[in-house]
């Protein structure tokens, strides 16, 4: 099953028929394996990665570091749950090191993101501090390089 997951993670458009050929397996076995992975919520979604900088859509992405007080008996889970329910929140990660949670959010403007942090995250009783970092440019995301530089194939000529 790991091989199927690795193939789908690289390209979700690969059909079960193509996977069966790639792995030298029966098509019905591959379809059943994919169905089981979906039912067991191992496969959660099929997603397309888009380079939004090549479109007209304007938005900002921010990474927010949070130091929080864990909830008694529930650790960080309850705090994370309250945070990930906001539609602006794209990801929440429990971290080791100097802070506890990383929250990745998107907004139309830096001001909108700053207001979200100031009005929604910072006032939470378990949040001790926040540090907001704005993404200025994406070079690589989900293992995909966004703009590879063209290689200069010119030869040096000396006289």
**pLDDT, tens digit, 9 for 90 and up, residues 121-149:** 999 989 999 999 999 999 998 888 888 77
Place of tokens 């929140």: 89
pTM of the model: 0.78
Residue 114, pLDDT > 90, answer: yes
- Alpha carbon 38 to its chain centroid, in Å, reads 19
pLDDT greater at residue 153 or residue 38? 38
Q: Which two tokens stand for residue 19?
A: 């996977």
Burial class from Cβ neighbours inside 10 Å (0-12, 13-18, 19+) for residue 140 reads exposed
Paired tokens of 51: 């380079």
Nearest-5° Cα angle at 28, 22 to 34: 75
Residue 150 has pLDDT above 90, yes or no: no
Q: Please tell me the predicted confidence (pLDDT) of residue 157.
A: 78
Helix pair angle (16-23, 2-10), 10° resolution: 120
Model confidence at 68: pLDDT above 90: yes
């Amino acid at each position: 099953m790991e091989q199927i997951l690795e193939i789908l993670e690289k390209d979700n458009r690969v059909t079960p028929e193509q996977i069966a050929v790639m792995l030298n397996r029966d098509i019905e076995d591959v379809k059943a394996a994919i169905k089981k992975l979906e039912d067991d919520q191992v496969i959660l979604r099929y997603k397309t990665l888009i380079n939004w900088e090549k479109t007209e859509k304007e938005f900002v992405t921010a990474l927010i570091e949070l130091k929080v007080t864990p909830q008694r008996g529930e650790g960080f889970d309850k705090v994370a749950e309250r945070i990930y329910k906001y539609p602006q929140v794209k990801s929440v990660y429990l971290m080791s090191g100097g802070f506890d949670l990383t929250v990745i959010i998107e907004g139309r403007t830096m001001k909108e993101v700053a207001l979200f942090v100031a009005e929604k995250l910072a006032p939470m009783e378990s949040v001790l501090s926040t540090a907001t970092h704005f993404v200025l440019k994406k070079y690589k995301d989900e293992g995909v390089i966004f703009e590879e530089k063209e290689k200069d194939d010119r030869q040096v000529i000396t006289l």
